[in-house]
Chain A
């Protein structure tokens, strides 16, 4: 006889974007007890994915954009282990950089955003659409190290920042490929299916950036863009010594806004929406909050840009009374075999010198040779007639 508690729990299927979703009502209670802290936002950790997609020296400003967001995010508390930084080109060590090992964001070289503890996870040609989508969806080969992965869970708030050259519905990577807004929306949907985020803040600083967030359909995404469809995002100011534009306008004013934020500040997202009005930016920044469940006025900037941990006091402790077991010392005797380790030979020169030439596998002649011989034979028979066949064979 068994005690049977029958629980029929019906599946809640979320994959179809047209179906409406039952929203979870988080009680926002400001109370003195520790459980109260949990309700203002549902996240326990923060991640950031910062991507610069353009290469070449004249796109210095895109790298400076990304690095200044990186700097703000680190300053507000997100550790390097939770930041995936992708820079498509190395400006600090570029031959044309008059001040090597620096990337400046303000003219007259006021602020060096490169510093000495920048940790770039994907650099140079590793920044591709494929790698970006792999990072987002988690489909990385098993040999990828931890620092190159986005190990978020269902309680992570993720900040995604993209900058580069873009157009209506696409973003250009490395001057050779592009990612479309549909692919990006699908990638976010796959992240949602696997509950790889709690809330997502998507910021894009490119021309016609608003087109990139038009197609999103997964819940809990808030998006900001530097310009609407049909508008270009402009760069801020050139530095005459370096010779290129240092920053884009939207990111420049956003950086100024973020410099006023400290880890304990209570500024909310509505202030971020007001950054860089048309008078300063020339383009019209846009934002999209219809997929986001909470009211933007209640979302703190530090919910995405910083990493404020929830903390609980440990009230109980377990009383342990056993004494510590002493580890048994292995008697040292001469017969003990110690494993001898050695490095594998990186360049086996002796083998290379004495190598026999490799036998190449025989392949049947490919199409071109066959075609050429067929043509020659045809011409021959056309000219001389078929009765000469017996002379050949």
Chain B
């Protein structure tokens, strides 16, 4: 085995690869058992790239060969090697006496979709750094490769900005304890990278921005009650030059802090009532010839923002409203589809987005924060991302999907059991062959995997009645 690179060394730690691994094999007539001991897994990576960041284009293929002669993991890139190591760790089993075994195996594997993400919301509830890092660990066990970090929103602004420190000082729940410092952010990005996970940072505007207001006076639109300000605020004010100067500076910081090519710029649920009430905005609308159509104003804002971000050499992902409201976006924009029924059923939305030539990410049926009684993992699992009307070219534009764990009712007390093993159903749907739809087969493996998660110290909740050999115990 070549010197073990930090990427790979980190992935090896929970895995007894250095212990002798007998491979049981039966000779024909004599029935004599011949144990072949494996004392190393040889890894061969074809293309260098250990110190790089994973990207949407990363090749995650690998093959795994375990037989008498060899114990060999071959991959194109280090990212594939990470995926292969996870699979390898899942193949090792123990007999009742305690002996570690691995069966003769031939695996050829690669993901169905390149973007397999998980969204966490750290604005509605602050999540301690440890919770985020732990989540990245379990994402790796499930071969998730994108951490969509919805950092800020109406409720709080925990991201520590160095160009606008007041954003955090005035916008966080508690600027001493409920923040992510620059160091914290670096830690997340590197921890993710070592697991082949991209960090897709989202700074959602112009809506969902109430917490930005206290730190940047004049940024948000003052709502009016008749001819007087009501005292409340609405979305970012698109009518002021200052707004775009601010966004320019702010997103320069964001572009430099987050290395992934893509940034998520939000653009969802913009409430027009406040804009409508504001006389300055009414005047602006008139000047621009937008009439009464506030979608045009929203368009104007977002287009300007997208141009700013493009100039920094970034690509972007936006929520579907940006597409629905006919904002003019660059052709390589990724549209994230999250609305189940409105304005159309999400399958129809997939059709519309891809027929317009945009790449799509599916999230609508995978809102894991929407809990219900019973084994809802089955519904999650049975979603077929490409089950919409469209040509093969259109279907090719679906680059993957994301399970979303919005934070209104979630924090570190219930995040882990609510995420796992349910998110595992999304993980398989995005990685594995589309033919894999047998629920009994899935149940057997997912139930076993849940017990394995427990063994690895993950507080994953039960799928249904039953038990694991070692149950979870609070430390």
Instruction: Indicate whether A and B interact.
Output: no
Footprint of B on A, CB under 8 Å?
A: none
Q: Which residues of B contact A (CB under 8 A)?
A: none
